[in-house]
Amino acid sequence: MSKDYPEYESKMKKTVEVLQTQYATVRAGRANAAVLDQIRVEYYGTPTPVAQIATIATPDPRTLVIQPWDAGTLKAIEKAILASELGINPTNDGRVIRLAFQQLTEERRRDLIKQISKYAEEAKVAIRNIRRDAMETFKAQKKKSEITEDDLKDVEKDLQKLTDDYTKEIDAVTGKKEKELLEI
C-alpha cells in the first residue's frame, strides 16, 4: 500500500522525524548536548548552531561544558543561551561556559510533559493535513475522470490507514519520552 503513495508517506515520516528532533531538545534533567541544537549564535553576521563554533562536553551527568574555538564568541553563546527557552543560567568563567542541569521538580516534569504533548498534537495535525492534501489531489483526479469513484474510495481507505499508522507512531514516541521524563 505504501508504495502507492511514496510522496505522502515520505512527508508523514519526515513529520515524525521532526517530532523526534524536537523531543531531543526537551531538557530532561540530565546533560544532553541535543538541547543546544536549536540555539543559534550570531557569528560573523550568520546565525550558527553552537555545535559548529564550539566543543561541547559532558564531564558529568548533570553538566555541559561549551568551549568555543574563538574566545570572542563566548559572550554571544552566553547571550543566545539566556535568550533561549532552555531555562538554564550559563556560568561563564572567561574560557568556557558551564550549564548545570538541576534535578527536575514535579512541577517542571508536568510542564515538560505538556510541552511534548503540544509537540505531539502539532505533529498529528501535520499528518492530517498531509492526508487532506492527498485527498484533494485524488478528488481533483476523480473530477477530471482520471480515476474512478471506486479508486477514490480505495485511496481514501489507504490514506486513512497510513494516517492511523503514523499517528500511532507519534503516540509511541510521545509515550517513550513521557516515560523518560517521569523516570528521571
Q: What DSSP string runs through 42-106?
A: EETTEEEEGGGTEEEEEEETTEEEEEESSGGGHHHHHHHHHHSS-----EE-SS-EEEEPPPPPH
Q: Could you say which of 1.10.1270.20, 2.60.40.10, 3.30.1360.40, 3.30.70.20 is the CATH number of the domain covering 33-100?
A: 3.30.1360.40
Q: Report the distance separating Cα 51 and Cα 12, nearest Å.
A: 28
User: Which carries the bigger pLDDT value, residue 1 or residue 133?
Assistant: 133
The mean per-residue pLDDT over the stretch 84-106 comes to 82
The rounded percent of the chain whose pLDDT value lies above 90 is 33
Pick the range with the lowest mean pLDDT from 89-93, 165-169, 171-175.
89-93
- What residue spans in the chain does CATH classification 3.30.1360.40 cover? 33-100
Fold assignment, 2-24+105-183: Topoisomerase I; Chain A, domain 4 (1.10.132)
Distances (CA, A) of 46 to 42, 50, 52, 60, 73: 5, 12, 12, 32, 12
1 pLDDT band, cuts 50/70/90, is very low
Residue 128, pLDDT above cutoff 90: yes
Q: Report the distance separating Cα 90 and Cα 106, nearest Å.
A: 23
29 pLDDT band, cuts 50/70/90, is low
User: Which carries the bigger pLDDT value, residue 86 or residue 5?
Assistant: 5
Q: Report the distance separating Cα 15 and Cα 123, nearest Å.
A: 6
The mean per-residue pLDDT over the stretch 67-91 comes to 84
Does this model's pTM top 0.85? no
- What residue spans in the chain does CATH classification 1.10.132.20 cover? 2-24+105-183
Average pLDDT taken over every residue of the chain: 86
Distance between alpha carbon 33 and the CA centroid of its chain, in Å?
Answer: 14
